[in-house]
Amino acid sequence: MNETIPFNETEQVRKIDELLRDTRYWKSTLELVRDEILFIDRLLNSYAFEPDTPDLFERLQNYKGRLKIVRNKRTDVIRQISEHENNLGGMMECKNETCDLVFYDKHNILKAEVVAYAEGFQNLKGEIFNYAGGILKKRKP
């Protein structure tokens, strides 16, 4: 006998809340990234570096270019999150698990993109801080 589990709207609402909680967390994380990008940009454009460092200009330009790419990608990811968040309301129109699965798949794909973006940014930030830490001007006592 092939029994199917009845579709449960209460469970669906709980799942939608969980997905919305994820999107709010992602947005919060990306707001912090925005602030960190601003700080790093200001650092890279400051005069805090030792001027006699070999290849300083080239390295700073490289980091500035990569930071610009990260800033633009952040805007794109935020847009995707907002679209996804708006579309989650459509789950309430679903009347079976198959329909919900489409939303879960899209959610998981976006989650992977957010995680990859955040990891990429953290790697760049670490690289910049490691480089900058060694060549910042030393203050005389």
Contacts of 114 (CB under 8 A, 6+ apart): 26, 29, 30, 77, 81
Q: Which amino acid is at 141?
A: P
Q: How high is the pLDDT of residue 2? A: 41
- The domain limits of the chain are 9-135
From the number of C-beta atoms within 10 Å of its C-beta (0-12, 13-18, 19+), residue 119 rates as exposed
Cβ pair 103, 60 in contact under 8 A:
no
Q: What's the pLDDT at 9?
A: 76
Nearest Cα neighbor of 121 from 20, 22, 29 is 29
Q: What is the pLDDT of residue 138?
A: 62
Distance CA 73, CA 78 (A): 9
d(C-alpha 80, C-alpha 75), whole Å: 9
CB neighbours of 136 closer than 8 A, spacing ≥ 6?
A: 48, 49, 50
**pLDDT score, position 137:** 67
What is the pLDDT, as a whole number, of residue 120? 98
pTM equals: 0.84
Q: Which residues of the chain have pLDDT under 50?
A: 1-5, 140-141
